[in-house]
């Protein structure tokens, strides 16, 4: 259809396994390494990874795995964007320890205001933004709503994004959890219109 796939989201079910010194941790590492290879094969520039939650503190084993993923990403020319969730300490640690142009930040504004509303994540990691997940804080889970349906100050948010080095797509990561009355086509059309409104604020 001529669509350009800007990034993929790696599996999230077992994200907390990355630091574990067992076969589960190795299996997740292998999954991420395969994702790097998949991105290279299908010419997808970036993959998004969620690091373990801060209830699972980072360790030398986990950092070694991140470095293995970084090495493969550098070899194959793929970006690895680490997404903020309930993992600010782990995210800050990895971005500080791994100095590579292939390791960066996926800014998720909905997660930001849900879990760390008092921290200025874009000031902290803005120079390393590689991907965006934009959604509002309305709805059943207080996140993943369409922009402008919640209480996020989009004018401020988009201006802060514009101040970073990011020049990629204005990407919506809304779910249809609270839009089930809309058809898929109606939902996508509404999301596209909201993306254009956001883009006008950058």
Evaluate whether residue 88 is within a structural domain: yes
Which of the 8 DSSP states describes residue 64?
H
Same domain, 5 and 67: yes
Same domain, 77 and 171: no
Say how many domains are in the chain.
Answer: 2
Evaluate whether residue 38 is within a structural domain: yes
CA dist., res. 138 & res. 106, Å (int): 21
Same domain, 195 and 150: yes
The closest alpha carbon to 133, from 109, 117, 150, 115, belongs to 109
The pLDDT, as a whole number, for residue 140 is: 82
Evaluate whether residue 122 is within a structural domain: no
Same domain, 41 and 140: no
Same domain, 98 and 145: no
Angle (CA) 138-139-140 rounded to 5° is 140
| Number of neighbouring beta carbons within 10 Å of residue 176 | 17
Phi, psi of 87 (to 5 degrees): -145, 35
From 104, 126, 148, give the residue that closes a domain: 104
Q: Which CATH number goes with the domain that contains 9?
A: 3.20.20.150
Place of tokens 């680490």: 82
Evaluate whether residue 125 is within a structural domain: no
Same domain, 161 and 201: yes
User: pTM of this prediction?
Assistant: 0.96
Phi, psi of 60 (to 5 degrees): -60, -35
pLDDT tens sequence for the chain (202 residues): 888 999 999 999 899 999 999 999 999 999 999 999 999 999 999 999 999 999 999 999 999 999 999 999 999 999 999 999 999 999 999 999 999 999 999 999 999 999 999 999 999 999 999 999 999 999 788 999 999 999 999 999 999 999 998 999 999 999 999 999 999 999 999 999 999 999 999 8
Same domain, 71 and 140: no
Evaluate whether residue 148 is within a structural domain: yes
CA dist., res. 152 & res. 148, Å (int): 7
Give the dihedral sign, CA 29/13/180/135.
Answer: negative
Range of the domain at 189: 134-202
């Amino acid at each position: 259809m001529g669509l350009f796939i800007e990034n993929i989201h790696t599996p999230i079910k077992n994200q907390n396994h990355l630091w574990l010194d067992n076969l589960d941790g190795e299996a997740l590492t292998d999954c991420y390494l395969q994702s790097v290879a998949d991105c290279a094969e299908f010419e997808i520039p970036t993959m998004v990874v969620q690091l373990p939650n801060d209830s699972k503190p980072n360790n030398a084993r986990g950092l070694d795995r991140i470095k293995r993923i970084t090495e493969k990403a550098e070899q194959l020319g793929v970006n690895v964007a680490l997404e903020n969730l309930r993992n600010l300490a782990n995210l800050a640690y990895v971005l500080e320890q791994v100095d590579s142009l292939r390791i960066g930040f996926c800014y998720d504004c909905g997660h930001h205001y849900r879990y760390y509303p008092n921290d200025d994540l874009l000031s902290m990691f803005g120079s390393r933004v590689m991907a965006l997940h934009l959604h509002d804080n309305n709805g059943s889970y207080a996140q993943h709503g369409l922009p402008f349906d919640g209480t996020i100050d989009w004018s401020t948010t988009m201006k802060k994004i514009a101040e970073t080095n990011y020049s990629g797509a204005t990407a919506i990561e809304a779910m249809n959890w609270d839009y089930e009355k809309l058809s898929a086509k109606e939902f996508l059309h509404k999301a596209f219109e909201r993306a254009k409104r956001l883009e006008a604020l950058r």
